[in-house]
Chain A
Amino acid sequence: MWVYEKKLQYPVRVSKCNPMLAKFLIEQYGGADGELAAALRYLNQRYSIPDKVVGLLTDIGTEEFAHLEMIATMVYKLTKDATPDEMREAGLGDHYANHDNALFYHNAAGAPWTATYIQAKGDPIADLYEDIAAEEKARATYQWIINMSDDPDLNDGLSFLREREVVHSQRFREAVEILKEERDRKKIF
């Protein structure tokens, strides 16, 4: 089971009310390479992967939910007191018409989250390579958002999340090495 902790993984700050940035950020909430997709991808793959890497998939998958909460916090702070007019001016009129200021799992262009964003091939190498690619794509998305953001406090949190993608990719690469290891090598040499 999972136990919730009433605490963010990282102290998220936002300098100013800016719904436009929320529109971009929602890509990492309900987009193809976002944190929801990441969490669900890893936690689903772990049932059919060799025992040696189940712990890693469980732990990274769980961390992704902490990142999802960080993104939600950023979106919440960027839009909390935005008026309908401000939402419309920020390009969030279509979002507002359906959701008011509620969050929803869709990408920056408004396409709802879909399970087709994630894969589970059942082949350990194919799945881990998918995971490595997902981390690199999420890292790239954070870079593109940082490039468009002029909010230093927000960029501080986004830089943290981008660096986490680097570390996760490193661990998935190590997981591939673990699965490549010749079982009896130590005895032979």
Chain B
Amino acid sequence: MANPKQMPDEFYQWMKQLQEIDFVLVELTLYLDTHPEDYDSIKQFNEFAEKGMRLRQKIEKKYGPLMQYGQSYSGYPWNWDDPPWPWQM
């Protein structure tokens, strides 16, 4: 069987952008767990949450679902299994 089509550079760039946004959110999450009354950081958290959701939707629309159990829409046919998996990227 032929090697399945590899992903274009654009996919890698978008995923990197998503990793950047999501990393800010991870850092702010842990920080807010011990600083629950830092208003400015909560504002920043919500701004990045919004940004992340928009970028995730853009990636999924073109390249398929990133999350499961209904957190992402599916294409037809079911495209959750399509490579690359994270360790194959």
Residues of A within 8 A of B (CB): 3-12, 53, 55-56, 59-60, 63, 69, 72-73, 76-77, 167-168, 171, 174-175, 178
Establish whether residues A167 and B27, one from each chain, have CB atoms under 8 Å apart when the complex forms. Answer: yes
CB–CB B66/A59 < 8 A: no
Identify B87's interface contact among A60, A63, A77, CB under 8 A. Answer: A77
Contact (Cβ within 8 A) A3 B15 = no
Q: Which of B29, B30, B67, B89 is the one whose CB lies under 8 Å from A4?
A: B67
Q: In the assembled complex, which residues on chain B have CB atoms less than 8 Å from the CB atom of A77?
A: 87
Cβ-neighbour of B71 out of A3, A9, A168 (below 8 A): A3
Q: Which residue numbers of B lie inside 8 Å of A, CB to CB?
A: 12, 15-16, 18-19, 22-23, 26-27, 29-31, 33-34, 65-69, 71, 80, 85-87, 89
A72 to B87, CA, bound (A): 8
Q: A60, B86: Cβ atoms under 8 Å?
A: no
Chain A residues positioned under 8 Å from B29 (CB to CB): 59
Q: Is B67 touching A6 in the complex (CB atoms < 8 A)?
A: yes
**Option from B19, B68, B80 in Cβ contact (under 8 Å) with A3:** B68
| A171 neighbours in B (Cβ, 8 Å) | 30-31, 33-34
Q: Are B16 and A11 in contact (CB under 8 A)?
A: yes
Other A-B contacts than A6-B85, A10-B19, 14 sampled, CB-CB below 8 A, are A3-B69, A4-B68, A6-B68, A6-B80, A8-B87, A9-B23, A11-B16, A12-B87, A56-B30, A59-B30, A168-B30, A171-B33, A175-B34, A178-B34
When distances are taken between beta carbons in the complex, the residues of chain A under 8 Å from B67 are 3-6
Residue of B nearest to A13 (CB): B89
A3-B68, A7-B18, A10-B19 given as contacts; is B30 within 8 A of A73 (CB)? no
Known: A7-B15, A8-B19, A9-B23. A73 touches B86 (CB 8 A): yes
